[in-house]
Amino acid sequence: MIRSMTAYAGAEKQFPFGRLAWEIRSVNHRYLDVQPRLPEEFRAMEPAIRERLTTSLQRGKIDITLRFHPSGASVGGSLQLNQELASSLLDIHTQLEQLSGQQQPPNLLALMRWPELVQEQAGDMAPIYAAAMEMLESVLEQLIAAREREGEKMAQMINERLQGIDNWIVNLRQWLPEIREKLRLRMSTKVEAFADQPLDPGRLEQEVALLAQKMDVDEELDRLAAHVSEAIHILQRDEAVGRRLDFLMQEFNRESNTLGSKSVDEKTSKASVELKVLIEQMREQIQNVE
């Protein structure tokens, strides 16, 4: 089953410590490009997030956003006085009073601004990280399911175009004997027109051979049929197949172009154009296949 590279998933949940919200947006990209946007206190989770997404996704530009709204002081952070430093500052204040001969109460607000006198003790983030990662699992499953649903629609469209290409191959094989007979009669008519003029047998033979080579498209039809079979096989593989299909589209284009260059009949010219239309429609979809 193929997957699309375009999808969206999101979830929001309230916990005792606050509200967590995940959003994942995925668009097509040549490789896997993960772009996390995390609150500062969740930066430590980034390696784990990247590793988790890498194990489940192969291609696509992934914008993943986490929003966190804490519930007041429930996160567990606290302020703590550096008592050793505070005692030292008060001792210095007492010494200054003695040296100056003046007594003045210490300015506590000014002391509180002293670097590292009041220190913030971070709460235990492990339970919050665990909750966030558990939510991420659920959101990632939603994203993969959305990519697979879109992939099913794309696979149906691609299979329809492959069937269309196969139908044109069948038609061309049926038309070729008639087309060759028309060309033979056309050449015979032209030769008869010069019946009263001396013709170089070698030159005539060369022209006939060149025309026969130009109208020989059996090899191109065989290759197109083989590409159709290979594309159907690739669509059934349970892995990322976007690059394989993209390469195959180049091969489809090559054979259809050669078929058009060899066209000597209105039917083959029309078939070549229709094949290119079908191939281009597939290529547009395959650009978005993981």
Q: Specify the CATH number for the domain of residue 63.
A: 3.30.230
Q: What is the pLDDT of residue 32?
A: 95
Q: How many whole angstroms separate alpha carbon 180 and alpha carbon 186?
A: 10
Asked, for residue 197, whether it belongs to a domain, the answer is: yes
pLDDT confidence bin for 288, thresholds 50/70/90: very high
Residue 90: name the closest of 66, 68, 107, 73 by CA.
107
Q: Are residues 117 and 127 in the same domain?
A: no
Contact by Cβ (8 Å): 63, 32: no
Instruction: Clarify whether residues 275 and 182 are in a common domain.
Output: yes
Task: Look up the pTM and report it.
Answer: 0.72
Domain for residue 248, yes or no? Answer: yes
Question: For a pLDDT cut of 70, what percent of the chain falls above it?
Answer: 85
Q: For residue 135, what pLDDT is reported? A: 97
Q: How far apart are CA 227 and CA 169, in angstroms?
A: 12
Asked whether residue 26 falls in the same domain as residue 155, the answer is no
Average pLDDT over all residues of the chain: 87
Residues 11, 143, single domain; the answer is yes
Under 8 Å between Cβ of 59 and 240: yes
Is residue 85, in this structure, part of any structural domain at all? yes
Q: What is the pLDDT of residues 233-283, one digit of tens each?
A: 999 998 899 999 999 999 999 999 988 887 777 888 899 999 999 999 999
Inside any domain, residue 22 = yes
Whether residue 232 is found in the same domain as residue 140: no
| Residue 1 belongs to some domain of the structure | no
- For 14-51, what is each residue's pLDDT tens digit? 998 899 999 999 999 999 999 999 998 899 999 999 99
Determine, yes or no, domain membership for 66: yes
**Same domain membership, residue 182 and residue 107:** no
Residue 147 is predicted with a pLDDT of 96
Q: How many domains does the chain have?
A: 3
How do 32-37 and 78-81 pair as beta strands?
unpaired
**Cβ(50)–Cβ(83) below 8 Å:** no
Write out the two tokens for 18. Answer: 């606050």
The residues that bridge with 252 in the sheet, in sequence order, are none
Q: Return the amino acid letter for 118.
A: V
Q: Are residues 181 and 225 in the same domain?
A: yes
Contacts of 81 (CB under 8 A, 6+ apart): 117, 118, 119
Residue from 251, 230, 255, 254 nearest 241 by CA: 230
The answer to whether residue 155 sits within a structural domain is yes
Claim to verify: residue 180 and residue 219 sit in the same structural domain: yes
Mean pLDDT of the 111-129 span: 79
**What confidence tier does 113 reach under pLDDT thresholds 50, 70, 90?**
confident
Collapsing DSSP to helix, strand or coil, 153 comes out as: helix
| pLDDT given for residue 193 in this prediction | 64
Confidence of residue 217 (pLDDT cuts 50, 70, 90): confident
Give the pLDDT of residue 123: 64
Q: How confident is the model at residue 58 (pLDDT cuts 50, 70, 90)?
A: very high
Residue whose entry in the numeric block shows the structure tokens 């939510």 = 135
Q: Does one domain contain both 94 and 173?
A: no
From 119, 219, 132, select the one nearest 169 (Cα to Cα).
Answer: 219
Please, which residues bridge with residue 21 across strands?
Answer: 12, 67
Pick from 34-38, 70-74, 221-225: least confident: 70-74
What is the tens place of the pLDDT at every residue in 158-209?
A: 999 999 999 999 999 898 888 777 766 776 676 666 656 665 656 655 665 6
Q: What is the pLDDT of residue 97?
A: 83
Same domain (yes/no): 171, 271: yes
Is 2 among the domain residues? no
Say how many CA atoms lie within 13 Å of 234 toward its Cβ: 23
Cα–Cα distances in angstroms (integers) from residue 196 to residues 53, 191, 199, 205, 237, in the given order:
80, 10, 9, 18, 65
84-88, 275-279, 284-288: which has the minimum mean pLDDT? 84-88
Whether residue 226 sits in one domain with residue 160: yes
Range of the domain at 136: 7-74+123-147
**Same domain, residue pair 29 and 65:** yes
